[in-house]
């Protein structure tokens, strides 16, 4: 199951939300909003019902969203297993095209030996690649693409 963080732009900044309203707005359970309050989401006062300002809710979710981001510098690819950007082993990566204008860099993590992938535009390949040695493997030709098909037959 993919765990997605709520979009902070859904909160209206000039409105106050109860726990139930905030949960409905972001499509999460009421207990999730209560956990946000325990972890630092500011509330209006200590009276019931618990009210949260939309401005505070949006800024809390924005900070929560950006706190775990680890941007990759040129020459780095994000390793999902290590949860950190790394330079691939041997500073080598393959560019595998998915369309005429974009593709992905594939490298091997030097720490855990897992495959690392990074989406990249063909126009930005040199900036993103940095000091990496990038190879562009070519696809093998198919039998149907040859002018003289091979006949594997014993008939004379």
Cα–Cα nearest to 13, from 50, 60, 45, 46: 60
Residue 52 bridge partners (DSSP):
17
The whole-number pLDDT of residue 71 equals 85
| Size of the chain, expressed as the number of residues it contains | 156
CATH 1.10.10 domain position(s) in the chain: 8-66
The pLDDT of residue 1 is: 41
What pLDDT score was predicted for residue 60? 94
**CB 95 within 8 Å of CB 104:** yes
pLDDT for position 46: 85
User: How many other C-beta atoms lie within 10 A of the C-beta of residue 31?
Assistant: 10
Low-confidence ranges of the chain (pLDDT < 70): 1-3, 139-156
With helix as H, strand as E and coil as C, how does the chain read? CCCCCCCHHHCCCCCEECHHHHHHHHCCCHHHHHHHHHCCCCCCCCCCCCCEEHHHHHHHHHHHHHCCCCCCCCCCEEECCCCEEECCHHHEEEEEECCCCEEEEEEECCCCCCEEEEEEEHHHHHHHHCCCEEECCCCCCCHHHCCCCCCCCCCC
> What do you get for the CA distance between the two ends of the chain, in Å?
59
| Percent of the chain predicted with pLDDT > 90 | 61
Q: Give residue 144's pLDDT.
A: 57
Q: What is the CATH number of domain 8-66?
A: 1.10.10
Whole-prediction pTM: 0.57
């Amino acid at each position: 199951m993919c765990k997605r963080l709520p979009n902070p732009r859904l909160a209206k900044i000039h409105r106050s939300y109860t726990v139930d309203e905030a949960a409905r707005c972001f499509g999460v359970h009421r207990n999730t909003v209560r956990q946000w309050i325990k972890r630092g989401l500011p509330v209006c006062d200590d009276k019931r019902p618990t009210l949260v300002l939309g401005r505070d809710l949006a800024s809390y979710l924005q900070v929560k969203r950006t706190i775990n981001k680890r941007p990759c510098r040129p020459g780095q690819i994000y390793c999902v297993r290590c949860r950190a950007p790394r330079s691939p082993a041997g500073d080598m990566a393959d560019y595998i095209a998915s369309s005429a204008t974009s593709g992905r860099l594939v490298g091997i993590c030097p720490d855990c030996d897992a495959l690392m992938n990074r989406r990249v535009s063909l126009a930005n390949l040199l900036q993103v690649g940095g000091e990496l040695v990038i190879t562009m493997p070519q696809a093998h030709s198919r039998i149907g693409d040859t002018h003289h098909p091979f006949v594997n037959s014993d008939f004379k």
